[in-house]
Amino acid sequence: MNLSIDIGNTRAKLAVFQDDNIIDFIAFDTSELIKIIKKIISKYTISASIIASVATISEKISEELKKLLNPIYVTNQTKVPFINRYGTPKTLGVDRIALAAAAVKNYPKKNVLVIDAGTCITFDFINHKKEYLGGAISLGIEMRYKALHTFTAKLPLLEPKEVDDFIGFNTNTSIHSGVVNGVCQEINGVINQYKKKYPDLTVVLTGGNTFFLAKQLKSGIFANPNFVLEGLHTVLTHNLTND
């Protein structure tokens, strides 16, 4: 069994894989990382592991992880199952590397647009030749709510809410429409841009807001909240079999 770990600034997720199937999944606060891993390795026999982290891991935690797992860390030097055509490959985020790997594994010989709706909304495009070409980075839903509150004098800070009507009838519903409907229109617009150039486009939606947005977007989108973890497993397997 293999272990994939995705570490964010405050939250982390991990998945235990048997072959290509997730048999266990945990989302937790990053402060509990070692505790959760000890729990996992006491329950399963982990043969190999991989970590993608956008947060800085302390030397102490790194040493503990080495003793417990001796994991592969995803970097711009890690071997991947796709061709990186990004103009600045050293700056490509480890989460986006994982998403590209998941795309070529799950949708071989397809043009794939992966939309990761998390803290930021990222758009990543991988063509049918396994070439990662790039994409876009935009503000996430929570970030937009916070920006409206932070950079104005009177607008309240609201929690995300589904929009029943795109015409807001008061301040709160206008904010919800501006943020949520705005995000949906942005995503649909970007998808349409890609489809004009790649009519056979496959679209995958992932990230923390996957199901919140999936209900409000156009049909024909594959929703998979664990796409990063699946991509990490793909990178791990690629490295284990191509040494």
Q: Is 93 annotated as a binding residue?
A: yes
Is 225 in contact with 211 (CB distance < 8 Å)?
Answer: yes
Q: Report d(CA 168, CA 178) in Å as an integer.
A: 8
Known binder of ligand: residue 171? Answer: yes
According to DSSP, the β-strands at 21-29 and 83-84 are unpaired
Residues 19, 29, 95, 124: which is the catalytic one? 95
Residue ranges of alpha helices (H) inside the chain are 33-43, 59-68, 94-106, 141-150, 171-176, 182-197, 210-214, 227-241
Q: Is 12 annotated as a binding residue?
A: yes
Cα angle value 207/53/10 (rounded, 5°): 65
Whole-number Å distance between alpha carbons of 67 and 231: 24
Please confirm, yes or no, whether 95 is among the known catalytic residues. Answer: yes
Q: Is 36 annotated as a binding residue?
A: no
Tell whether residue 13 is among the known ligand binding residues. Answer: yes
* 200 belongs to an annotated ligand binding site: no
Check whether 165 is labelled as a binding-site residue: no
Is 116 annotated in a binding site? The answer is yes
55 is in an annotated binding site: no
- Is residue 9 part of an annotated ligand binding site? yes
Contact 4, 17 (CB under 8 A): yes
- Count the alpha carbons within 13 Å of 80 in the hemisphere toward its beta carbon: 28
Instruction: Give me the sign of the Cα torsion angle 161, 165, 168, 170.
Output: negative
95 in a known ligand binding site: yes
Q: Which residues are annotated as a binding site?
A: 6-13, 86, 93-96, 116, 119, 171
Q: Which residues are annotated as a binding site for ATP?
A: 6-13, 119
Q: Which residues are annotated as a binding site for K(+)?
A: 116
Q: Which residues are annotated as a binding site for substrate?
A: 86, 93-96, 171
Active site members: 95
